[in-house]
Amino acid sequence: MRLIPRETKFFEMFAEVSANLCEGARLLERILRQSGSDIPQMVQQFKRIEHRGDDMTHAILTRLNQTFITPFDREDIHRLASSLDDVLDFMNAAAVRLVMYKITDPPRAAADLAALVVQQSDELAAAVSLLGKNQNLLDHCVEVNRLENEADVVSRAAIAELFETERDPIRLIKIKELYEVLEAATDKAEDVANVLEAVVLKSA
């Protein structure tokens, strides 16, 4: 009788983290489709989402350390919380670079990469909502991996083009790193999908 609320609580907390991730991804895409003077203020807004994510992750890990019976493998709860947090961290790394490097006209491929992170976040939120039910959860994981492969292709093409066309090495360094941290965000989303997949397979 007492176990049900505990189980539910972890699922609720992960649903909140996923919703926050989706909100962050959408804002990041909007920032990157932007150009000009609004960017620093929107990046401030993004940072608030990132801090909220940190607090949520911390709350899950604290609860985990104080909970004896968990709805699924203790290590996997830890991995799931950490890997979801990593996705937001790398999105934040992209947002921060816009300000740090004073990039006022992000290239189109950066926004396209962010759009892939939006799609991955939506798939992850759908997968997380199926935790404990497991039905169809794997389909969402497969889609997250497919989107990661797509991001790989997009970022490689964008970097290759950058090396073809950009003659200013300092601008090249800035934009290359922007692409790389966005691509890393899609890798981290794949890590989340791998954790979810392991949870499902263990309970099968």
> Which residues of this chain interact with its own copies, rule CB under 8 A?
61-62, 65-66, 96, 99-102, 156, 159-160, 163, 169-170, 172-174, 176, 198, 201-202, 204
Q: Please, which residue, 125 or 178, has the CB nearer to its own copies?
A: 178
Looking up tokens 């692409």 gives: 179
Closest CB 194 distance from its own copies, rounded Å:
8
Q: Please, which residue, 22 or 152, has the CB nearer to its own copies?
A: 152
Query: Tokens representing 36?
Result: 């000009």
Q: Please, which residue, 118 or 141, has the CB nearer to its own copies?
A: 141
Closest CB 38 distance from its own copies, rounded Å:
19
Closest CB 22 distance from its own copies, rounded Å:
25
Q: Is 26 exposed, middle or buried (0-12, 13-18, 19+ CB in 10 A)?
A: middle
Single out the residue of 19, 27, 57, 25 nearest to residue 44, CA to CA: 27
Q: Please, which residue, 7 or 152, has the CB nearer to its own copies?
A: 152
Closest CB 32 distance from its own copies, rounded Å:
19
Closest CB 16 distance from its own copies, rounded Å:
21
Q: Are 80 and 196 in contact (CB under 8 A)?
A: yes
What gap in Å lies between CA 86 and CA 78, rounded to an integer? 12
Q: Please, which residue, 13 or 125, has the CB nearer to its own copies?
A: 13
Single out the residue of 8, 11, 9, 4 nearest to residue 196, CA to CA: 11
What gap in Å lies between CA 38 and CA 167, rounded to an integer? 27
